[in-house]
Amino acid sequence: MNNLMTRKILTAAVATFLALTPALAFAQTWATWTGATSGPVNGVLGSTTVTYTGGYNQAYGAGGTDFWSSNGAYTQGGLTAPTNTSFIRMVAPESGTITFGSAVVNPFIAFISVGQTNVPVSYSFSSPFTVVSNNNVSCAYWGCGSYSVSGNTLTGREFSGTIQFVGTFSSISLSNSPEEFWHGFTVGAESVTGPRGDGIPNVVPEPSTYALMAAGLAGLGLVSRRRRRAA
């Protein structure tokens, strides 16, 4: 009887944990930016927010030309291309910071037309990253291109594609150089899918969620100890 009760308590504890844990399957959720020509650029990233502060030329909101039009430059390895037309455009050398409303797990940045064949443009970041898709072979809106990586710096020659940062991030800082007429980026995050997910970004739970889970498990442990003493 005691063993049966213990199994029931453990089953309840596991169910509580799974109910509060994201699914293990992920897609991508992409930001929708609000158009702007000065000041911070605000966006929505699924169930959280995202803000870009720093230098830029213009922020395009949803509804313009779809420079992300689905192709292999953004969909390699099962990735999802940005799902709306908004992005932040750069021209002159700039620096800025992307800040998430809630800490995001394994965020992405997708680029449009970074550099030209004879005018390489570099983006340097505050953290290391991996190039997960590119237009070396599968051309993007403005054709094919190439890239190279040195440390935390990506250099593009008509590069379009996606990079990913591994870890949990509240913000990412970046800078680019030199001046080049037209290139841009948007921001994405892994999104939870599957039986316990609904496409929301894979954000870090609020402290209250952890507290609730801890309280539930502690309560189950107390019940177990009381029943053992009663037996």
Contact (CB, 8 A) for 197 and 139:
no
How far apart (Å, rounded) are the C-alpha atoms in residues 10 and 4? 10
**Quick one: DSSP state of residue 166?**
-
Residue with tokens 């596991």: 14
Average pLDDT over residues 50-70: 94
What pLDDT shows up at residue 229? Answer: 55
The residue type of 70 is: S
How far apart (Å, rounded) are the C-alpha atoms in residues 68 and 46? 18
Q: Is the pLDDT assigned to residue 185 strictly greater than 80?
A: yes
How far apart (Å, rounded) are the C-alpha atoms in residues 38 and 87? 14
The per-residue pLDDT for range 26-35, each reduced to its tens digit, is 678 999 999 9
Q: Is the pLDDT assigned to residue 103 strictly greater than 70?
A: yes
Residue count (the chain): 231
What pLDDT shows up at residue 215? Answer: 47
Question: For residue 220, what pLDDT band results from cuts at 50, 70 and 90?
Answer: very low
* Range from 80-84, 87-91, 151-155 carrying the lowest mean pLDDT: 80-84
Question: For residue 78, what pLDDT band results from cuts at 50, 70 and 90?
Answer: confident
What pLDDT shows up at residue 77? Answer: 87
Instruction: Please choose, from the candidates 106, 140, 137, the residue with its C-alpha nearest in 3D space to the C-alpha of residue 22.
Output: 106
Stated pTM of the model: 0.77
